[in-house]
Structure 1
Amino acid sequence: MNALVIDKTFTKEDYKTNRLALAEYDNCTFVNCNFTEAYLSDVNFIECTFTECNFTNAKTKNTSFNTVTFNNCKLLGVQFTSCNPFLLSFTFNDCNLQLASFYQLIIKKMLFKNCNLEQADFSKATLTESVFDNCNLKNTAFSNTILLKTDFTTAYNFSIDPEDNAIKGAKFSKDGLFGLLTKYKISIS
């Protein structure tokens, strides 16, 4: 059984050098910590907050993120696909998620606010009722993705094929309609 760590704050820790202890972290706060290429396999994070942390290429095999919030974090290339899918839920505020993969994940009602999601992969994911608030979705992959009631009203630079994705009830602004027509290579003025 993993150790249990409750209500603890970790500041400026370097987990690239010193591996994070295999444990269940409940209601913990991590501030300005370095998780670059860190091994987080089999670690459980429950109701934790990460602020200004760097997770670039962190290893997340069977990692649990249950009601976790990321604020102003760098998560380049993180393979959320390998996380434990049970109770997987997170919120991203002002984060850089370039090249992150959410392939085949069921992540309903997720909030991505002011995030850079360039070249992220949401192929075959379920994002029902999620919100992309002021997010850059340039070259982000949406293929066979369930986007029912997903809010793209303030998202930009996206290209979503309505014939290849389930978008019933999804919300788009008039300015964003071009992102639904990209594959047709038409000119809109």
Structure 2
Amino acid sequence: MTNEQTSDSFFDIYHHEDDLYLDNKWIKNELVEDIDMEHAIIERCTFERVQFLNNDFSNIELVDCVFKNCDLSNTQLSKGSLHRNQFINCKLVGTDFSDAFLKNIEFKGSNLFLSNFNHTRLDTVNFSENKMDQVEMGECKLKKVTFNECGLNQANFFKTSLKNIDLSNCEFEKIMLDFDSISGLKVNDYQALYFAQAFLNLKLK
């Protein structure tokens, strides 16, 4: 006999009136693919090594969930409401968070290449040790957002205020933003030189 816990299934999700609910589940080693499930409500769940591929979860309510070593590539989470969630060592390539609201969220050690946060409100969100090249964060509202040791090459922050945002220990060769966006941005010496050349047209001799 073994004491190994049996995991649940994402497909335990159930209908209640007009919504879909999934609550207090531990789900691992499952494939969830090509599903259109608008306005699902998922609370207090842990997902481990779950593949969410090409799903439409627009308008999702995601609360108190943990994703570990999961793949959410090209998943639609646009217009969602995400509270107190963690994404640890996840693949989020092309994941769409646009027009969503994120509060008390942690992204750590994850690949967010080409992910889309355009027009999103982020409040108390921590990005740590992530690959974020070519991430889209245009016209966002940022409050208490931190970036720690992230790769941000060709990331787009156009029309997003970066006041009091610290990028000094992040890496990028080129980053897209406008003159107003950089006001109050905290950078290191090398990055300051990059912005001086990009926005002030200074030429070094």
Aligned to 1:41: 58
Q: Match for 1:30 among 44, 47, 50?
A: 47
Residues 139 and 157, structure 2, Cα contact 8 Å, conserved in 1? yes
Task: Return the structure number with greater strand share.
Answer: 2
Aligned to 1:59: 76
Structure 2: any 5+ residue segments left out of the alignment? 1-16
> Are 2:130 and 1:115 aligned?
yes
TM-score normalised to structure 1 length? 0.84
The worse-fitting range, judged by mean Cα deviation, of 48-57 and 103-112 is 103-112
Aligned to 1:167: 183
Please give the secondary structure, in 2, of the residue aligned with 1:102. coil
User: Size of the alignment, in residue pairs?
Assistant: 186
Query: How far has the Cα of 1:3 moved from its partner?
Result: 4.8
TM-score normalised to structure 2 length? 0.78
Closer, same or farther in 2 for the Cα pair 1:145/1:21, shift >3 Å?
Answer: closer
The percentage of aligned residue pairs carrying the same residue is 20
Structure 1: any 5+ residue segments left out of the alignment? none
Aligned to 1:10: 27
Residues 105 and 126, structure 2, Cα contact 8 Å, conserved in 1? yes
Q: Match for 2:157 among 135, 142, 147?
A: 142
Aligned to 1:79: 96
Closer, same or farther in 2 for the Cα pair 1:99/1:18, shift >3 Å?
Answer: closer
Closer, same or farther in 2 for the Cα pair 1:69/1:143, shift >3 Å?
Answer: same
Aligned to 1:105: 120
Closer, same or farther in 2 for the Cα pair 1:188/1:13, shift >3 Å?
Answer: farther
The worse-fitting range, judged by mean Cα deviation, of 73-82 and 35-44 is 35-44
Residues 86 and 106, structure 2, Cα contact 8 Å, conserved in 1? yes
Query: Pairwise CA RMSD of aligned residues?
Result: 2.6
d(CA) in 2 for partners of 1:3 and 1:162?
A: 41
